[in-house]
Each structure stands twice: as C-alpha cells, then as structure tokens.
Structure 1
Amino acid sequence: MCMVIFAPIFAICAFATCGGYYGRLQVKVDCAGRRQSNLSINIDFGYPFRLKDVHFNAPLCEAEREEIIFLHGDFSSASQFFLTVGVFAFLYSLLATIVYVFYQNNYLKNNRGPLVDFVVTSIFSCMWLVSSCCWAKSLSDIKTATNPTQVLLLISACRAHENKCTATQEPLWSRPNTSVVFGFVNVILWVGNIWFVFKETGWYKTGQRYPTRSASGKRNCEMRQRLYSESSFEQPDEGFGPQLSRQGSVNQQVNRQVSFNESQVSLTLPHAYLGKPVVYDRDSKVASQGPMIFVNEM
C-alpha cells in the first residue's frame, strides 16, 4: 500500500524539482575609469546544467570593448539520468497501482506477476541509489562552478586591484537540494518495498512450507506419543476374547481375594478387568456365563 500511494508522489517531486530548476547569478564590475563599468551582469543557467554553454559579456576596463566568458563544467549526464529514473519510476508505479487494484487475480496467476514485480523493484532500487548519489555529487560541483568568487575570477577586469567586482544576486539552491532529498527518499521507499514484494513470490512460501523443528519440540512430541501409547486406549485386546492363561490367573486371584461374607465385604475399585463373561457360585463352580466385572480388593 505504501508503494501504491507514495511511490508516484515522491517520483514526481524528485524529477520535477530537478528538471524545472532555473538559477540566476548577478555580478557587477565597477571599473576605475567609470566609463566601461557594468553594474548588472546576469548569468542564467538551469537544467540540464551544461555550464560550458553558459556565457555572458563582461567589460574590459582597459579598453572600450567587452569579452565573452563561458562557465566551466558539463553536468548534464547526472541530471538527465536522475530525471529519467524518476520519470520511469513514476510510470511503473502507476502501472503497478492499476494492476494491484483492477487485475489482482491476473497478477497472482502462476506467480509470474510477483516475480516480475520483484525483479523490476530491485532494478529501480539500484537505479535510484546510483542516480541520487551521482546527482548529489554533480550538484555540489555545480554550486562550486557557479560560486560568485569563482565566476569573478574568470573576468579579466576583476583581476586588477583598482577595479571593484561584487555579486549582487546569488542563485537559490532550495529546489535542487530538495530533489536530492527526494531521490534518497525514493531509495528508501523502493528498497523497503523489496521485502513486501518478496513475500508475494513463491520463494517466500517455499521457505515457509517445511519449518524446521527444534530439539525441544521433538522431545515434547515424543513424550506426547509415549503418554498416549500408555493410556487406556490400548487395552481393548486384553479385555475381550478368550485367553486361557489370562483366565487362569484371574480365577486364582478371585479365589484368594473374594470373601463370601457379604456383611463384612468392603470393596474398592482401583482396577477393573473386563474378562470373559463367567459367573461363579458359592462352591467356586461355574454356574452360568454372562457379563461380569472382576474387582481387586485393596
């Protein structure tokens, strides 16, 4: 969601503040003779910052003529690269927004959409980082090249001590500085979006499909299985079905522990055995067969 909302906005702010910049430097040359002085020399420059093509006329105080002076430096490659990345990032973010909102099913079909989005997002993250760093360095060089002190040194009349040369207006750098800030904000935004796009790919789901089990978890699982195997749910075979050896031991135990004095019988029920249905009379003979529960007397 952050990608859908903020990526187009920050991309517009980045390339708009860079591409729409226009700066002006104004200097004055006050010659000692006062005749050839020029108190208003305007030096205009802007995007794409080909300063070597920017020129202005300055008076020669020693003669009644002017000289043409060019600035130094060409920073068009860095500024154009930064602006191009911003424009393409804006277009792709708009396309991604349309796909996310209206074509969500096609986006997730066969997992192709998330994979393509992950690759493109990674590429734009690298391009934003490179272009922002290059533009920040170039902007620093542009400020140096248009520094009034450096420009006045290019004028021949200003090298003479009897002439006075000063800068009456300096360019404002708020917009290009803002473009650098928005460039690095886009870097953070696109790099952070890599994780969210990666979660939509099959790579993330494959890594979470078979989680590893720790040693303590394995021990807990084995303990549960052992307790379950020792519970009463594994005893049906002992209670049903004829077993001669089992029946003999049961008969002996009953003959030893059962008292026929009904007035003094006290019974407890710690264990119950469901054996073969047998009924005993007072002479310990089998009278009839039927369901019976044998009880151990404690």
Structure 2
Amino acid sequence: MAGLRMSFGILLEPLGFVKVLEWIFAIFAFATCGGFQGETTLLVSCKGVVNETVTAAFAYPFRLDTVVFSAPDPKGCGGTWTDVYLVGNFSSSAQFFVALAVLVFLYCIAALAVYVGYNHVYQENNKFPQTDFAISALTAFLWLVSTFVWAKALADIKVSTGASIVPGIESCKAPGTTCHFVSVTSMGSLNVSVVFGLINMILWGGNVWIIYKEANLHHSWHRISESPGTNAAERGA
C-alpha cells in the first residue's frame, strides 16, 4: 500500500494544480523581496564642494541604520560633514516574509512529491489530509500576517529613503552647506512582492477549502464526532 506509484494526473486536479501555483508564487515572493538592491542620492554643496553627488546603497534585509552616505569629498566639507546614516531597521519584517516564502517553497516540493508518488496513501490515510489541512490553514494565516507586516515596513522604508530624509541630516544644516534630494531607486519590485504575498494568502486560503472538500474531511470528522455517542449506545445495548 505504501509503495511508490507515480501519477502526474494529480497535477491537473485542483489539489495538485493549486500546490504548483503556490510553489511558483512562493519563488516570486522571496525573489522580488530578497533580491532587491537600491540607493538613494543627494546633491550636496558645502565648503570647497559644489553640487557633489552622495549616495547611500541599501538592500535586503533593509538594516538602514547601518547604511551610510558617501562623503562629498575626502576632507568632509572642511570638517563639517560627519557620517550620515539612514534611519530604521526593517530586517525582522523583511526576513519574516522571505523566510516564510522559502519554507513554503520547500513544503510545496515535499507535498507535490507525496501527491505524485503516494497519492493512494494520501487518500487512504486520513492523517495525511488532516495534517495537510492544518499546515495549509496555518500557512494562509502566516501569509496574511507577514504580508501586512512587510507592507507596513515597505512604507516606512520609502519614507526613510525618500525626500523627507534631508531635513533630519545634521551635516546639511552646517553653515554654507545645502543638500537636495535627487532620487531613490524605484521600489516597484518590492511593491510587487506585497502583491505576491496577497496572492499567496488567497491561494493557501483556497487550498484549505480544496483539501477539506476533496479529502472528504467533513465526512471523516463527522464520523469521529459521532463515534463516542455510537460507542456509548452500543455499550448500553
């Protein structure tokens, strides 16, 4: 009963097809977030320097408080320019989102291996569908939490790397020094990562329903709930 029986037809059925989609969109989620690299740019004029471009390069996991702007010149504007760091550490939100995507990616591979090679065991043993159901429900909830936490962190990252950073830079307030915000790398891929997070949440929520219906869990749980009463009646007889 537990022998390997390869059957790729399950991939065309809702249970397998949705799992393939979950696998693909998990890749998209961690690739669009974890692969980001960008920089924010200022134009600085100070003692002995006119319109010098300074940049601060940042990337996943977005520990912005460790990112420093390059100095306008070797002399640091005659000693008036000190190291200027970006503000905020958003690594926990970003890493939570990416780690979930990676774990989901790995789980989907394992689940697909079971569906394709051991679907007969999956269908005959209620423990497998019940475990799959519980993991899917938990994963849908974690996608909900991680996506909204990451979306909030992304909004803060945009503030910490945008034009609003200039008024808070002490070196730009030195006499004879002016700073102007120039640009920041487009965060379109990070916006897309949030969209992929929402898609994953929807897919896993739908997967919970598919497992519940296709594995007949409602029937098996109904039998389990009735069994104590049935047993008591049999003992009474």
Q: Shorter chain as normaliser: what TM range?
A: 0.7 to 0.9
1:51 lines up with 2:64 in the alignment: yes
1:124 lines up with 2:124 in the alignment: no
1:100 lines up with 2:82 in the alignment: no
* Alignment of structure 1 residues 169-208 onto 2, 5 Å: 169-206=183-220
- TM-score where L is the length of structure 2: 0.79
1:71 lines up with 2:86 in the alignment: yes
Query: Equivalent residue for 1:166?
Result: 180
Query: Equivalent residue for 1:90?
Result: 105
1:27 lines up with 2:16 in the alignment: no
Match of 1:42 among 31, 55, 63: 55
What amino acid does structure 1 have at the position aligned with 2:66?
Answer: D
Q: Which has the larger radius of gyration?
A: 1
Give, in whole Å, the separation in 2 of the partners of 1:49 and 1:189.
Answer: 28
What amino acid does structure 2 have at the position aligned with 1:54?
Answer: V
Give, in whole Å, the separation in 1 of the partners of 2:69 and 2:133.
Answer: 50
1:138 lines up with 2:120 in the alignment: no
Give, in whole Å, the separation in 1 of the partners of 2:122 and 2:144.
Answer: 27
**SS of match in other structure, 2:81:** strand
What amino acid does structure 2 have at the position aligned with 1:174?
Answer: G
Change (3 A) 1:163 1:121: same
Give, in whole Å, the separation in 2 of the partners of 1:171 and 1:146.
Answer: 9
Q: CA offset at residue 206 of structure 1? A: 4.7
Q: Would you say the 8 A contact 1:57–1:66 is kept in 2? A: no
Q: Would you say the 8 A contact 1:27–1:168 is kept in 2? A: yes
- TM-score where L is the length of structure 1: 0.64
Query: Equivalent residue for 2:31?
Result: 16
**SS of match in other structure, 1:68:** coil
Number of residues of Structure 1 aligned to a counterpart in Structure 2: 205
Give, in whole Å, the separation in 2 of the partners of 1:157 and 1:116.
Answer: 57
Q: CA offset at residue 165 of structure 1? A: 2.1
Give, in whole Å, the separation in 2 of the partners of 1:170 and 1:26.
Answer: 6
Give, in whole Å, the separation in 1 of the partners of 2:146 and 2:189.
Answer: 17
Q: Would you say the 8 A contact 1:24–1:42 is kept in 2? A: yes
C-alpha RMSD over aligned residues: 2.2
1:40-82 CA distance string (max 9 Å, x none)? 1011001000011111244565x34531111111100000000
Give, in whole Å, the separation in 1 of the partners of 2:220 and 2:184.
Answer: 59
Q: Would you say the 8 A contact 1:13–1:179 is kept in 2? A: yes
Q: CA offset at residue 106 of structure 1? A: 1.3
Structure with higher helix content: 2
1:4-50 CA distance string (max 9 Å, x none)? 3211110000011000000111111123x5x1346110110010000
Q: Would you say the 8 A contact 1:24–1:44 is kept in 2? A: yes
Match of 1:3 among 9, 18, 22: 18
What amino acid does structure 1 have at the position aligned with 2:135?
Answer: V
